[in-house]
Amino acid sequence: MGQVIYLDGEFVPVEQARVSVYDHGFLYGDGVFEGIRMYSGRVFKLEEHVRRLYHSARVVDLQIPLPPEEMSRVVLETCRRNELDDGYIRLVVSRGAGDLGLDPRKCPKPTVVVIVDRIALFPESLLEKGLTAVTAATRRTAVDALDARVKSLNYLNSIMAKIEANLAGAEEILMLNREGYVCEGTGDNVFIVRGGAVLTPPAYLGILEGITRATVLDLAREMGIEAREAVFTRYDVYTADECFLTGTAAEVVPVTTVDGRPVGDGRPGPVTRRLREAYFEYARSHGTRFRD
C-alpha cells in the first residue's frame, strides 16, 4: 500500500491529494500547522500538539471544522493507514479556497490535511559530532507584529535565515530579536548549558513554545539538573559549556560551533548527551497508540 493522505474528510493516495490554487494557505500562507512525531507505533504528545493547533487557529480567527477529539482520531487513523511506525506527521489547516483578495471572509471552508511520512533534518554523523551554526542577520519577527507562539504557515522569516545558513556553509542558524537577544533557530528552540544549569529563552522574546522544549525541561528537572528560562545573548552562547537545539523534527541536536567559535571543548557535552538519551527513551515509551 502506498502513502495515504487525509484531505477534507477523505483518505486518498498521495498522487490524488489536491488543494485549490485559490487556497489562501497557498496564496498568502494563511493557516496553521503542527509537526508531530511518531515512535514505535505511538503518536508523541498528540494532545499537546492538537491543543496548540487550536490555540494558533483561535489567534488568527480560523474556525477548524473538526472538534479537537475528532482531529486526534483523524491523525491516528492516518497513521494506521500508512506503513510507518516511526516517522513524522504534518497536520495543516489553511483558510481554504477564496478569491485573489486578502479578505478571509471570502474563504467559506478551511482545508484540513494530514500527511504521514519520514523526516530527517540532519544526518546521523552530524548528530555525533555536533552542528555548526552561525548568527542570522535576519531578525526574528517582532512579537508585536506576529506572536511566534502562533505556528502559522508563513515561515518566510525562517527561510530567509536558512538561506543565510546555507550560504555560510552552516547546518543551522541562531536568530536574534531586534534587541539582540537569542531567540531560536529556524525551526528549533535553543538551549545552553552553563555551570551545570540548562537555560533556554523565554517565550516573550519571540519564540515558539516548543513541545520538545517543554519535554526536555521536564526531563532535566526530573534528572536533578537545574533547568529554567533565561534571557541571553551571543556572548553567553560563545562562553557556554554546551549548546543544543530541540524541536519535533530536529529532536535533540548538539551544536558545537557558533560563528566559528567552539562551544565548550567543541564536542557534544555530557548534559546534552544525557538529555538526548533521556528524550528518546521517554518518547519511545510514551504516546497515543495507533498500532499494536
Task: Name the residues annotated as catalytic.
Answer: 151
Residue 179's nearest CA partner among 216, 237, 140 is 140
Residue 214's nearest CA partner among 32, 40, 45, 36 is 45
| Tally of CB atoms within 10 A around 71 | 22
Cell numbers standing for residue 20 = 485549490
Q: Beta 197-200 vs 227-229: how paired, if at all?
A: parallel
